[in-house]
Structure formats: C-alpha cells, structure tokens
C-alpha cells in the first residue's frame, strides 16, 4: 500500500491565525494517524502579497506547535517548494493546455465581469458567461493593443464528482456552476487552481486537508489532474473556525494571531483547545500534537463552522 502524503500549503501573506493552525493540525493528524508524511509548500504565487519572512514565522510557529514536516519549506532545496520559483514548471503544463486547444485570452475587466454575470451559488462565486470565448483572431489582435489578456480554460459541460473525506459526495457541473476559469492572470502570474493541481501531483500529495471555503475549488482541480493524466488526491475539507459572532477569522484579526497566543499559552494548551473545538477531545486538556494523533477521527469533527467563545483568548476551554 502506498504511503499517505499530506501537505501544509500556507500563503505567507501574514501571520498565522488560529484557523490556519486548526487546518494545519487536522492535515497533520490525518496524515500522521495513517503513518503518512507531510510536505510543506509555500503558496507565494502572488509575490506582492506574500513574503518569505512571514513564511519563516509560519514555519517557526508550526515547529513550536509540534507540527513537523518531512519535506519542503521556504529554504529547502534551493526554494523549490516555493510556488514563486516554479514558473517554468507551470509554463510547461500551461503549454500542454494550449496544445489541447483549451486556452483562450480574456480581456474582461473585473467591472465587466461583475456586470455581465450574477453572483452564483451560496459562496458568492461569479459564473463567467463566456464573453471572450469565441473572439475572432482579428478581435483578439485589436483587444491586445488595449490591454494584456488573462488566460481562461474552456471547461466541459459535464459533472465532476468526488467523495470528500468529511463532507461526502460532492458534484459540480463545471460549465453550469463555474464557467471557464482563469489559469493565468493578465500580469502573467499563474492562478492558484492551476498551480495547486500541478504541485499536488508533482509533489506526490495523496491527501489534501483544507478549509471548506475551498470545497468548491476541488472539482476544478480534479479536472485539471485528469487533463494532465495525474491521479487526483483525496480531499478532506474541514469546518472553518469563526469568531464568537460567526465572523470569519482573517489575517487582519491580529488578536488571534499565533505570535500573540504564543505569549499567553503553551503549545499543549493551544492544541488541546483546538482538539476540543474540533470534537477530537471530549474535555479540554493540554495535550501535545503527537499525543492527539490517536484521537483523530473524521467522524468526530463537526460539519458546521466552529465558533470560538466570546471571551477567547482569556478562556481556553471551548
Ligand atoms: N494557500 C491556501 C491558503 O493558505 C491553501 C490552498 C490549499 O490548501 O489548496 O489558504
């Protein structure tokens, strides 16, 4: 039997908050509970928003929490786990998609996109209506003079289905529910969906554990895996951790960032609190990540978002 390979895939655009910690913890527990390994990839595609100092802080935080990895990290192997250094690889696969006739230039501005489409589904995604799908070569040449295009991929009118480790069967018709999506931005930066599918495949990732805000990205990524002939990994999405009022945690909520929490609590207290919040422990108690492994079970984890108590971080037991 092949070994489970999980991954941490932080975007180093700020400090880690508790939601990022929960995600890393569950990805780590799932892989480790199967005797698997973990790869740490740096999702710094957007070099304006990301920086390696944040990444080094994230790595320090993960190690402080006892969340070890076996491969990767910002400084490993000449930075080869950093997406910002993998452009040549993405280019090769992008060229394959072009050869398949699936890529076309899109000149729509953000405002035009919003005007031409209705917010779609509960996640607020916009369905691309195909404005640039059938431009003639003359029209493309004309428009190129005005602005550089993004590159979109033509999606098929068919359902992509998979079984999520936590949320069960999930299906999406790409044409109806997503539309042709951007794989390369107008500034030349490759889009998250393309980079993540290629990297998960080339790095041998077999299990992707991440927040349920990315559940609806999985069909696109699975389809890209299929196009390249890669076996897709298994996906397991987890509920999001929210503030007591249901507000999503963001990297801007400095009060829940780990550097502050590190001054208040031990790693075992934080892991214990998250272990309780995620349903793995019946009662709050300080525990190391290592000792939590045997408690890991997808069935114990709630499906709905997990709220932090109002007076957190003063009180730990959720
Ligand atoms: N880099 C993404 C994030 O930090 C995660 C992407 C993924 O897990 O596929 O939210």
pLDDT, tens only, 149-208: 999 999 999 999 999 999 999 999 999 999 999 999 999 999 999 999 999 999 999 999
pLDDT of 122 > 60? The answer is no
**Which among 162, 211, 232 is positioned nearest to 25, based on CA atoms?**
211
What is the spatial distance between Cα 21 and Cα 315, in angstroms, rounded to a whole number?
Answer: 18
Q: Tell me if 61 CB under 6 Å of ligand 1.
A: no
Let me know whether 182 and 210 are in one domain.
Answer: no
Let me know whether 116 and 265 are in one domain.
Answer: no
The minimum-distance atom of ligand 1 relative to the CA of 10 is: 4
pLDDT of 127 > 70? The answer is yes
Domain boundary among 159, 191, 223: 191
Q: Phi and psi dihedrals of 76, rounded to 5?
A: -70, 145
How does DSSP classify residue 218? H
Contact between 235 and 166 (Cβ < 8 Å): no
Beta-carbon neighbour count of residue 49 at 10 Å? Answer: 12
The minimum-distance atom of ligand 1 relative to the CA of 208 is: 8
- Whether residue 312 lies inside any domain: the answer is no
What is the spatial distance between Cα 293 and Cα 302, in angstroms, rounded to a whole number?
Answer: 18
pLDDT of 316 > 70? The answer is no
Question: Distance, CA 249 to ligand 1 centroid (Å)?
Answer: 15
Let me know whether 174 and 226 are in one domain.
Answer: no
Nearest residue CA, atom 6 of ligand 1?
A: 9
Let me know whether 72 and 32 are in one domain.
Answer: yes
Q: Tell me if 9 CB under 6 Å of ligand 1.
A: yes
Taken as a whole, the chain contains a residue count of: 318
The helix (run of H) or strand (run of E) holding residue 265 is none
The minimum-distance atom of ligand 1 relative to the CA of 213 is: 10
- What is the tally of structural domains in the chain? 2
**Which among 236, 178, 196, 194 is positioned nearest to 212, based on CA atoms?**
236
pLDDT of 238 > 60? The answer is yes
* Residue span of the structural domain in which 239 resides: 5-86+196-307
Let me know whether 244 and 209 are in one domain.
Answer: yes
pLDDT of 313 > 90? The answer is no
Q: Tell me if 210 CB under 6 Å of ligand 1.
A: yes
Q: Which residue has tokens 């899109």?
A: 106
Domain boundary among 137, 162, 191: 191
Domain boundary among 191, 212, 235: 191
Q: Tell me if 193 CB under 6 Å of ligand 1.
A: no
């Amino acid at each position: 039997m092949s070994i489970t390979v999980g991954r941490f895939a932080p975007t180093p655009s700020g400090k880690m908050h508790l939601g990022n910690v929960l995600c890393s913890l569950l990805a780590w527990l799932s892989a480790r509970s199967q005797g698997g390994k973990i790869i740490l990839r740096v999702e710094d595609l957007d070099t304006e928003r990301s920086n390696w100092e944040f990444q080094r802080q994230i790595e320090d935080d993960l190690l402080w929490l006892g969340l070890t990895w076996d491969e990767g990290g910002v400084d490993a192997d000449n930075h080869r786990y950093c997406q910002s250094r993998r452009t040549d690889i993405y280019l090769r696969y992008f060229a394959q998609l072009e050869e398949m006739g699936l890529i076309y230039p899109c000149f729509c501005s953000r405002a035009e996109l919003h005007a031409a489409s209705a917010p779609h589904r509960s996640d607020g995604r916009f369905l691309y209506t195909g404005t640039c799908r059938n431009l003639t070569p003359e029209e493309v040449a004309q428009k190129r003079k005005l602005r550089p295009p993004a590159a979109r991929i033509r999606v098929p009118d068919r359902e992509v289905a998979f079984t999520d480790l936590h949320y069960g069967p999930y299906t999406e018709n790409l044409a109806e529910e997503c539309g042709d999506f951007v794989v390369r931005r107008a500034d030349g930066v490759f889009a998250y969906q393309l980079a993540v599918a290629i990297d998960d495949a080339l790095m041998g990732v077999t299990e992707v554990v991440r927040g349920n805000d990315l559940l609806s990205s999985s069909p696109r990524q699975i389809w890209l895996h299929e196009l390249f002939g890669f076996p897709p990994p298994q996906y397991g999405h987890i509920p999001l951790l929210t503030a007591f009022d249901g507000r999503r945690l963001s990297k801007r909520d400095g009060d829940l960032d780990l550097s502050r929490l590190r001054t208040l609590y031990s790693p075992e207290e934080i892991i214990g609190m998250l272990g309780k919040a995620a349903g793995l422990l019946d009662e709050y108690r300080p525990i190391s990540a290592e000792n939590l492994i045997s408690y890991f079970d997808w069935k114990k984890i709630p499906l709905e978002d997990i709220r932090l108590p109002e007076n957190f971080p003063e009180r730990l037991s959720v």
